[in-house]
Amino acid sequence: MTNPTDELPAPRVEDDALLEHLRRAAGAERLLVALDFDGTLAYFTEDIAASRAVDSAEAALETLAGLPNTWVAVISGRTMDFLHSAVDPHRRMLLSGSHGGEYDLSILGPEATSSGIELGSTQQTLLDQAVSATRDLVDRHPGAVAEYKPGGVAFHTRTLENPGDSDEALATMHAEFSALEGLRITPGEMVMECSVLTSDKGQAVTALINAVQPDVTLFAGDDVTDEHGLAVLGPDDLGIKVGPKDTVAPYRVADPDAMGAVLAQLAELRQG
């Protein structure tokens, strides 16, 4: 497990070991480039609907998506509607939303499996209770935001009128979610999220690997939920942590701009 460092890499590929691994990945016959969105491709924003990938990452992914035997995937906690509208409006990527609960693999052809979320009655009742608890807490903390998803709900504190209340509010939300038996609770960067689904990003990475059969997979993410995806990578694959949190990934970059530089380098190497 790598640990946070006092000084993270500058927004360009200066890590010799990472650069060498990028060269090997670029030379793979079949390459899957899978990425988290928030905190990895895009900076966190006060308006969660306005978040977009940094220019360097967006350009590199467009290039990679157009190369032979190269697949770009975004695996996010966001809804599929958001991924379609804000991340892949031209339908050139493989997508997994709601932490592996939704898939759009349509670029693989008409026989590819894509799936949405259908909740059973027990799941729907549990989700309704979680949504109600979240709304109540939002009402008690001016500036807090509830984000509704097909299988869950997230409580955001980034825009609290009193930022000093964030930790207490998140702890309260965690306690209220914990009181509802059957929820999967996921803490994040100024967010507390719950889901009635059992899927995670490790399952999503595995599903995409099974669908594409790549020789090498790159997966990068910034938060706790991404550790599931990083943990399923093989010895020839490339795992990258974005930001300072603890990780099983062997490589680390500072922020979305630095990740954009990595992707730009990979695209250049892949083009040959």
Residue 126 has pLDDT above 90, yes or no: yes
- Provide the edge-to-edge strand list for the sheet that holds 145-149: 145-149, 152-156, 191-195, 184-188
Which residue type sits at 261? A
Over residues 130-170, the pLDDT tens digits come to 999 999 999 999 999 999 999 999 999 999 999 999 999 99
> Per residue in 30-59, pLDDT tens?
999 999 999 999 999 989 999 999 999 999
Tally the residues of the chain.
272
Question: pLDDT tens digits, residue range 46-94?
Answer: 899 999 999 999 999 999 999 999 999 999 999 999 999 999 999 999 9
Q: What's at 257, amino acid-wise?
A: D
Helix axes 166-178, 121-140, angle to 10 degrees: 150
Q: What are phi and psi of 145, to 5 degrees?
A: -130, 135
Do residues 127 and 196 make contact, with C-beta atoms less than 8 angstroms apart? yes
Domains of the chain: 16-116+199-271 (3.40.50.1000), 121-195 (3.30.70.1020)
Tell me: pLDDT of 129 over 60: yes
pTM for the whole structure: 0.87
**Per-residue b or e along 113-128, where b marks 16 or more CB atoms closer than 10 Å to that residue's CB:** eeeebeeeeebeebbe
Distance CA 125, CA 131 (A): 10
How far apart are alpha carbons 117 and 115 in whole angstroms?
7
